[in-house]
Structure 1
Amino acid sequence: MAYEYRPFDYVPPPGLTAAEPRHRVAIVGAGPIGLAMAIELANHGVPAVVLDDNNVVSVGSRAICWSKRSLEILDRLGVGQACVDKGVTWKVGRTFHRAAEVFNFDLLPEDGHKMPAFVNLQQYYVEEYLVARAQAMGIELRWKNKVVAVERHADHAVLTVETPDGPYELEADWVIACDGARSPVRGMLGLEFEGELFEERFLIADIQMQADFPSERWFWFEPEFHNGQSALLHKQPDNIYRIDLQLGWDTDPEVEKQPERIIPRIEKVVGHKNFTLDWTSIYTFQCRRLRQFVHGPVLFVGDSAHIVSPFGARGGNGGLQDVDALGWRLAAVVKGAQPAAILAGYDRERVFGADENLLNSSRSTRFMSPEDGVERLFRDAVLHLASRVDFARPMVNSGRLSRPCTYPLVAPDADLPSGARPGSVAPDAPFDDGWLLDALGREFVVLALGQEAPAVPGARGVQPALNDHLRRRYLGSAERAVYLIRPDQVVAARWLTATPDAIAAAMAAGWGG
């Protein structure tokens, strides 16, 4: 592979020689979600120990499309700019039927945002940056520590961990399972996914080549180079290109992953042989989740809680939104500032978010791989019309791309712009000499526009000088407004004017989502 893997050092854990004091939080899995979870908790002053059965970053590019919201979260964790600097920035997607372009979109048509719409960056780079950040913060990362058993109690959990030097036990008040789609922790607790397994397979191939393809997402239905199927092309750093090819359910995965089968397929896509295979994988579409994400002292985050088909980039991005919704709540519980009952807010919101992702992912999958009958007739009719009439083009579904969901909060609202309504992520905007999201911090914020910020215990007042972006995104035609924004940068409530008591009541309700 083009990426140079550097193994992390295994250090014998103290639990091998003596019982360790109970940890506040143990995180299972040092992928991007587990690492982000540890950093987010550390930002709130809560230490966590991270256990991983491996000692390198992810093998293969895996997740590559990081959305604007994910970049904002990663920026808050200290690695967002590194991801943007290394990654391939893009915002335009093009969809083709055979050789004709039938639809395109621009994900960020306006300026005034710190982060771009999307960045393509291999998962191993994201993990590399997160590991370096975690190490710089003093977070304990235990490599080659494999969790093999989980025992739940009323107020803690006990993990049995295997290492190269033997097993040991580790107690933690809270265990966060970030151990992926095949989550061993989920299996140890006897928990099952619910949802759909689609009878369709796709080949992922990362190739290294010199090419002049633009930094755009290209998707084909029934291309001439892959007749009757679908294909996707993405540009990555280091002259790596991601190609996804639909294979069909009747194909043999073991046969199809052989280079002698893959290389001729890729030659048809790019039109030449001047490339090398970097990494390949074959996957099956799945749209499934746990019924709930909170199981006593064990919490599920990312792919361990839910899994979607990769079209739409909803896997890694959805996992980072889990981190966003859980970190500030769990930190408050660990510190004794809030009861454990507020974690039900994490469960409600992220089950809602997962269901939204599952719905979009299922619709994309059915459009790309319709069943014979009505589904195929509809898909083929849409593709036929899309090259001729405007109204059909938005109906072409090659993967509705990830964006943060708007939680259905019951909260004070006002006649203000819909993009900043309660439950939505606060839109970024230029703020004094920087950016609004940077100024919000990690606490409840009372954002006052066109008026003074009421003083509310437990919340910080922010009163920016108004500019066109702030006016358009937060005021619309109004002259003034007050927004209550949660520590995860979600709008908790808003008013044209508000008393401190009203804001305090909304803040109390905001912990539970």
Structure 2
Amino acid sequence: MTKNFEAPLYPYERHADQDAIRPRRHKVLVVGAGPVGLAAAIDLAQSGIPVVVLDDNDKVSSGSRAICFAKRTLEIADRLGVGHLMATKGVEWNLGKVFFRDRKVYDFNLLPEDGHQFPAFVNLQQYYVESDLVNRVRSLQAAGAPIEIRGRNRVTGVAQHRDHVTLTIDTPDGAYSLETEWLVACDGAGSPIRSQLGLDFVGRVFEDNFLIADVTMEADFPTERWFWFDPPFNQGQSALLHKQPDGVWRIDLQLGWDIDKAEEKKPENVIPRLRAMLGEEVPFALEWVSIYTFQCRRMARFRHDRVIFAGDSAHQVSPFGARGANSGFQDTDNLIWKLKLVLDGIADDSLLDSYDTERIAAAEENILNSSRSTDFITPKSEISRVFRNAVLDLSEHHAFARPMVNSGRLSLPSVYDGSALNSPDHLPTGPARTRPGAPCPDAPLGDGFLLQRLGGGFTLLAINCDAPAHLEEAGVTISGLPLVTADDPSGAFAARYLGAATAATYLIRPDQHVAARWHRFDEAGTRAALRRAIGKE
């Protein structure tokens, strides 16, 4: 619980940079030591890129905050060295139930197929995720990796130059300056970096307010996502219940428009609402309370010369759908391999513009889904409410109505359809889920899983056909990974990557998205696809 995380994890220490006559220049500075900033820094360090993380805090976040981490996030976290820690500590769930008033109308399964290393979701308090990531930083430091966290280093000024960025940083010992070739801003929804550059969001702010309460209790509720429309204990509004580790439960209660937020957060007002929901006989204790307002917004651009925004600093969505932290992990997963190619002199910095286009498209998808969820959960007119309630009534008995129920379209990885980095699809009869631009779905292989074997570089996946072990092109090494479908007697691997074909090759990006695919190994096509994937074609 939060009391275990009150001690500083990365306490302030004076650094030699503070005594330098001229500002020291670094390769990459990351501002923000939340999950997204730490993920970016770890990915950089694992790639051999020196990185310094600056944060105005010195400990993990108070309260559970983000709790729902999707399968794709766990797969990304696994490459960062913390995926299995998150999955082991977290509460796994694939199932959910939807209630209307006093009855269940239907349930759902987010991962009905077998053959995946991780579940659809785990619920895990953000402070555990941050702690795991900080410990991973420590282990990398012990192994000699070029990574550092500086606590209580608050950025108070940012200035852009042709070939670097200058930062002014406040500390307990006074201010100092640093320079960096690239600045990755992961400093949250209220991003000081964004403000200092005079940038803002575009999008919608909704009027409804929601109470978040983390409570500790012993309860017999299953490890499922339960969502209520117009329940008896919160009439005319909605509610959500999730289980977390350590006997902590997340409860969201819709409160409506015109409220006094300070009053509503007081225990004497929160506890009666929770008793109405849980029953007088259920003992519980408040651990953390907050109130939020839906916001579905993003920056017009995520890259501004040498400053690149990721996570909540770049985009915000309503929490229904668990798209906030999960999309932040996907941001860094998309960005860091491109930034490494630029820093290594292999790619021009125009490659970073593809981060902008690919992740803005992903943000638009998340905002669209979150806006639709919000409109369904909180109807803005009486006719909208009548329609919503009719859909809920129908969904109890008719499967066709259930896709129209929107209690939050839960996070899925984005497909970069139409990206300039994709090559034409030369396996048009292949499965749509592994087309160019799509993230690679996992599949069992012998005693392991496919994604564990892809590594962190460009991979040429050769299925039931011959291909070279290594291929050099444009300064990049492509590693061959020969596999046969007989390695997976379940047939899941063949179904996800071959479909009706008997053989195929896939060029897979470092972020495990498909760049191109063919019926067989095509050397000229592979070389051209690699050049295109790094912005040289």
Bucket of the pairwise TM-score, normalised by the shorter protein: over 0.9
- Corresponding residue for residue 354 of structure 1: 363
Query: Which deviates further from its counterpart, 417-426 or 404-413?
Result: 404-413
Whole-angstrom distance in 1 between the partners of 2:464 and 2:18: 60
- Corresponding residue for residue 424 of structure 1: 438
* Residue 159 (structure 2) aligned to one of 151, 158, 168: 151
Provide, for residues 180-204 of structure 1, a one-character-per-residue CA deviation record: whole Å limited to 9, x for no partner.
Answer: 0000000000001000000110000
Whole-angstrom distance in 1 between the partners of 2:230 and 2:16: 57
3-state DSSP of counterpart to 1:288 = strand
Whole-angstrom distance in 2 between the partners of 1:286 and 1:14: 41
Provide, for residues 327-383 of structure 1, a one-character-per-residue CA deviation record: whole Å limited to 9, x for no partner.
Answer: 100011111111101001111100000000000000000000111144223212212
1:302 counterpart letter in structure 2: G
3-state DSSP of counterpart to 1:279 = strand
Pair 1:412-2:427 in alignment: no
Whole-angstrom distance in 2 between the partners of 1:25 and 1:56: 22
- Corresponding residue for residue 242 of structure 2: 234
3-state DSSP of counterpart to 1:94 = strand
Aligned residues of 2:157 and 2:169 also touching (Cα < 8 A): yes
**Aligned 1:392-471 pairs, distance under 5 A:** 392-408=401-417, 409=419, 410-413=422-425, 414=427, 415-454=429-468, 456-457=471-472, 458-466=477-485, 467=488, 468-471=491-494
Task: Report sequence identity in percent.
Answer: 54
TM-score normalised per structure 2: 0.94
- Corresponding residue for residue 277 of structure 2: 269
Pair 1:197-2:202 in alignment: no
Large movers: runs of 4+ above 3 Å: none
3-state DSSP of counterpart to 2:263 = helix
**Aligned 1:213-362 pairs, distance under 5 A:** 213-272=221-280, 273-362=282-371
Q: Could you list the runs of 5+ residues in structure 1 that have no partner in the other structure?
A: none
3-state DSSP of counterpart to 1:108 = coil
Over 3 Å counting, the alpha-carbon distance change for 1:512 and 1:368 in structure 2 is farther
Query: Which deviates further from its counterpart, 351-360 or 107-116?
Result: 107-116
Aligned residues of 2:413 and 2:439 also touching (Cα < 8 A): yes
* Residue 28 (structure 1) aligned to one of 26, 31, 38: 31
Shift of residue 109 of structure 1? Answer: 1.1
Query: Which deviates further from its counterpart, 369-378 or 345-354?
Result: 369-378
1:447 counterpart letter in structure 2: L
Whole-angstrom distance in 2 between the partners of 1:236 and 1:50: 29
1:98 counterpart letter in structure 2: R
3-state DSSP of counterpart to 1:144 = coil
Shift of residue 251 of structure 1? Answer: 1.2
Aligned residues of 2:70 and 2:412 also touching (Cα < 8 A): yes
Shift of residue 430 of structure 1? Answer: 1.7
TM-score normalised per structure 1: 0.98
* Residue 400 (structure 2) aligned to one of 380, 387, 391: 391
2:431 counterpart letter in structure 1: P
Whole-angstrom distance in 1 between the partners of 2:445 and 2:400: 38
Whole-angstrom distance in 1 between the partners of 2:383 and 2:196: 41
- Corresponding residue for residue 499 of structure 1: 522
Query: Which deviates further from its counterpart, 307-316 or 452-461?
Result: 452-461
Shift of residue 501 of structure 1? Answer: 1.1
2:511 counterpart letter in structure 1: D
Provide, for residues 28-48 of structure 1, a one-character-per-residue CA deviation record: whole Å limited to 9, x for no partner.
Answer: 000000000000111211111
Query: Which deviates further from its counterpart, 458-467 or 310-319?
Result: 458-467
Pair 1:98-2:98 in alignment: no
Provide, for residues 242-285 of structure 1, a one-character-per-residue CA deviation record: whole Å limited to 9, x for no partner.
Answer: 00000001111111001000000001111135100000000000
Over 3 Å counting, the alpha-carbon distance change for 1:77 and 1:202 in structure 2 is same
Shift of residue 2 of structure 1? Answer: 4.8
**Aligned 1:109-128 pairs, distance under 5 A:** 109-128=112-131
1:360 counterpart letter in structure 2: N
Provide, for residues 444-463 of structure 1, a one-character-per-residue CA deviation record: whole Å limited to 9, x for no partner.
Answer: 11101110124531211100
Aligned residues of 1:406 and 1:424 also touching (Cα < 8 A): yes
- Corresponding residue for residue 4 of structure 1: 4
Whole-angstrom distance in 1 between the partners of 2:236 and 2:508: 49
C-alpha RMSD of the superposition: 1.3
Aligned residues of 1:204 and 1:242 also touching (Cα < 8 A): yes
Pair 1:508-2:531 in alignment: yes
Whole-angstrom distance in 2 between the partners of 1:499 and 1:394: 41
1:38 counterpart letter in structure 2: A
Provide, for residues 208-231 of structure 1, a one-character-per-residue CA deviation record: whole Å limited to 9, x for no partner.
Answer: 011111100000000011111000
3-state DSSP of counterpart to 1:211 = coil
Number of corresponding residues: 513
Aligned residues of 2:298 and 2:316 also touching (Cα < 8 A): yes
Shift of residue 427 of structure 1? Answer: 1.1
Whole-angstrom distance in 2 between the partners of 1:3 and 1:346: 38
3-state DSSP of counterpart to 2:205 = strand
Whole-angstrom distance in 1 between the partners of 2:346 and 2:467: 24
1:429 counterpart letter in structure 2: A
Q: Could you list the runs of 5+ residues in structure 2 that have no partner in the other structure?
A: 142-146
Shift of residue 140 of structure 1? Answer: 0.6
Aligned residues of 2:466 and 2:521 also touching (Cα < 8 A): no
Pair 1:47-2:70 in alignment: no
Provide, for residues 81-105 of structure 1, a one-character-per-residue CA deviation record: whole Å limited to 9, x for no partner.
Answer: 0001100000001110012112221
Whole-angstrom distance in 2 between the partners of 1:432 and 1:389: 40
Aligned residues of 1:90 and 1:216 also touching (Cα < 8 A): yes
Query: Which deviates further from its counterpart, 446-455 or 323-332?
Result: 446-455
Shift of residue 384 of structure 1? Answer: 2.5
2:526 counterpart letter in structure 1: I
Shift of residue 111 of structure 1? Answer: 1.4
Shift of residue 21 of structure 1? Answer: 2.9
Query: Which deviates further from its counterpart, 54-63 or 433-442?
Result: 433-442
Pair 1:168-2:176 in alignment: yes
Whole-angstrom distance in 2 between the partners of 1:385 and 1:435: 40
Whole-angstrom distance in 2 between the partners of 1:164 and 1:136: 27
Aligned residues of 2:227 and 2:241 also touching (Cα < 8 A): yes
